[in-house]
Structure 1
Amino acid sequence: MTEPVEIRVIGFGMGPQHVTPEAAAALRGCDYALAVQKGDDDPLLAVRQAVADAHGVELVVVRDPERDRSPGLDRAGYEGAVADWYDARLAAYRAVLDERGGTCAFLVWGDPSLYDGTIRIVRELGVTFDVLPGISAPQVLAARHGIVLHEVGRPVHVTTARRLRADVAGGQDNVVVMLTAGVDLDGFGDWTIWWGANLGGVGERLVSGRVGDVLDELVAAREAARAEAGWVMDLFLLRGPADGAA
């Protein structure tokens, strides 16, 4: 590399309003920030641009490699697709760092510790880095609904939509579900849901109640969030009925 490189992995929640004072100070001390662009029209890139602009930092943009998102992928296929995508993104990042050096910020939605691959990628780059925590989506979800994510003395299980049914079959009945790609709640009619989309951002929507009673409202709210913002990020807490039956 042209000169020593340091990376600061910075969680920014859902936008400038969620950037903590610690994260803001770290960002202002960076020479530039690095981000990927997903497609020709990437509304999420605009949020990263707003965060960088708010703290006077240049945003360097690279094109995000394509990833196999075929709905029929089994677990091995999914993990292989993610691995290939990581390798391609790693190469794109390394090219920028080789050219620029200096201190670079990686701006991460929510908190870098939760369902985000940035830390893994940065480790592969083999450079010095640190991590600044951000406000996570489950935190905002709980705050918006005014709830605690777990009942007294009970755990909360955090998983993905892809793994939801397997985890419920394994006994989980209080689940925060992330990385959704739609609404598939067949069989959960008697469960209680606390759902949110675009939390803290444009198009924010909230729905809660017995799944069987609010599902149509939830589907409509999800589409409304997408229509307003041009994109949708949603998650939910799903809690089983007292007798544990689905």
Structure 2
Amino acid sequence: MIALSLIGIGTGNPDHLTRAAEAAMRAADLILLPRKRAETAELLDLRAAICAAVVGDAARTATFDVPGRDPALPYLDGVDAWHGAIAAAWREAIARHLPGGGRVALLVWGDPSLYDSSLRIAARLDAGAIPVMVEVVPGITSLQALAAAHAIPLTALGAPLLVTTGRRLATEGWPGDIEMVAVMLDSGCAFEQLDPAGTTIWWGAYLGMAQQSLLAGPLAATAPAIRDERTLLRARHGWIMDCYLLRRDAARADASDR
């Protein structure tokens, strides 16, 4: 039996770890650390530093290479094939480093519940010879970190919040009469395709980390600055993780679906 702990570790700041996350890390017989392309080595280093800070010399870690997604395939087909390849990489790493079974931990950026596929990938592990029991330890999401960094609420008074992706915002536009929209996984600055009138944006990258960057203001004036900052930061670090919150004036939001 493999007991797999998916541990939300927040957005790169060790102070984001909960006591439950620390306990799960210490209880693990093996902590798997994903290794992606060379320019994202800092992400591997951050996970290794968190392990060292929490578990110390007793930490037993192993790295594995994360397969890339085939951009030639249709998006959903490509993601499905990619998840299958990642599950195979997990299965192979576990079999190599923990052949007798035991407790395995994966450190998940943010929280496994929000635009993260760790749970979907974990569900594929039972296709192997060893049964897998999955435990989730929640963590701080980037949206929580964004709201805290800007000292703002995620919701207007008595109003809903819609969480979506940059891909959907670009293709579908502003979602109906929603006043507050949180956007994640936006590599193309989809906010630039919106009519900016009456809209405010709060943006953040590397939230909670030493290189955190924040911008906020009316969308018309702030959008170019965000694009320039994203370009600069990606060139400097080789990777970027960011998200943003959009608020449209209530009167404008009410009229948007007419």
TM-score scaled by structure 1? 0.89
Residues 18 and 134 in structure 1, CA contact (< 8 A), matched pair in contact too: yes
Return 5+ residue gaps in structure 1 as ranges. none
Partner of 2:174: 168
Residues 112 and 119 in structure 1, CA contact (< 8 A), matched pair in contact too: yes
Following superposition, the deviation at residue 214 of structure 1 comes to 1.4
SS in 2 for 1:14: coil
Following superposition, the deviation at residue 167 of structure 1 comes to 5.7
- Which of residues 150, 153, 157 in structure 1 aligns to 2:155? 150
SS in 2 for 1:45: helix
CA distance in 2 between counterparts of 1:187 and 1:163 reads: 12
* Change in CA separation of 1:189 and 1:233 when aligned onto 2, cut-off 3 Å: same
2:217 maps to 1:209: yes
2:63 maps to 1:61: yes
Residues 202 and 229 in structure 1, CA contact (< 8 A), matched pair in contact too: no
CA distance in 2 between counterparts of 1:142 and 1:131 reads: 24
CA distance in 1 between counterparts of 2:160 and 2:173 reads: 14
CA distance in 2 between counterparts of 1:186 and 1:20 reads: 38
CA distance in 1 between counterparts of 2:244 and 2:166 reads: 10
CA distance in 2 between counterparts of 1:187 and 1:41 reads: 31
2:143 maps to 1:135: no
Q: Which amino acid aligns with 2:234?
A: R
TM-score scaled by structure 2? 0.86
* Change in CA separation of 1:220 and 1:9 when aligned onto 2, cut-off 3 Å: same
CA distance in 2 between counterparts of 1:199 and 1:182 reads: 19
Partner of 2:44: 45
Following superposition, the deviation at residue 169 of structure 1 comes to 4.7
SS in 2 for 1:34: strand
Partner of 1:18: 16
SS in 1 for 2:251: coil
Residues 205 and 222 in structure 1, CA contact (< 8 A), matched pair in contact too: no
Deviations, residues 112-142 of structure 1 (Å, cap 9, x unaligned): 1000010111122130121100000000111
Partner of 1:115: 115
CA distance in 1 between counterparts of 2:175 and 2:9 reads: 34
2:104 maps to 1:97: no
Count of aligned positions: 238
Q: Which amino acid aligns with 2:38?
A: D
Residues 204 and 225 in structure 1, CA contact (< 8 A), matched pair in contact too: no
Partner of 2:240: 232
Residues 178 and 236 in structure 1, CA contact (< 8 A), matched pair in contact too: yes
CA distance in 1 between counterparts of 2:38 and 2:239 reads: 14
Deviations, residues 42-73 of structure 1 (Å, cap 9, x unaligned): 22111111112222323211111110236xx7
CA distance in 2 between counterparts of 1:20 and 1:164 reads: 33
- Measured on the aligned residues, the alpha-carbon RMSD in Å equals 1.9
- Which of residues 4, 8, 16 in structure 1 aligns to 2:5? 8
